[in-house]
Amino acid sequence: MISATLVDLYTYEVVVEGAEGVPETTHRVRLEPDYYQKLCGGTITHEWLIIQSFKFLLEREPNTSILAEFDLEDINRYFPEYEAEMARRIRR
């Protein structure tokens, strides 16, 4: 399970339950308004976008490998297919 809770103006605390034998992790993720608009045009909630982004990450690495603190935009630097995949998931 993944939960995203607003803790500051643009910052969310994201908690990811670990799989069996893997610890739960907590992450602080910043989502700037311009990037939010770029990804979805305001058509979905911030929380849904962040949760889908973590699902994307978890398809590629374990929760214990995800940075403890980062800007959502940073994902695209590590995984260039991120923005296209988010567009696909939003269109569903």
What is the predicted pLDDT for the residue at 22? 82
* DSSP-derived secondary structure for 63-78: GGGS-SEEEGGGHHHH
Helices (H), 1-92: 33-40, 46-58, 75-78, 82-91
> Distance (Å, rounded) from C-alpha 33 to C-alpha 81?
21
- Other Cβ atoms less than 10 A from the Cβ of 24: the count is 11
Average pLDDT for runs of 10 along the chain of length 92 = 96 92 94 96 95 97 96 97 95 76
What is the predicted pLDDT for the residue at 69? 98
CB 53 within 8 A of CB 42: no
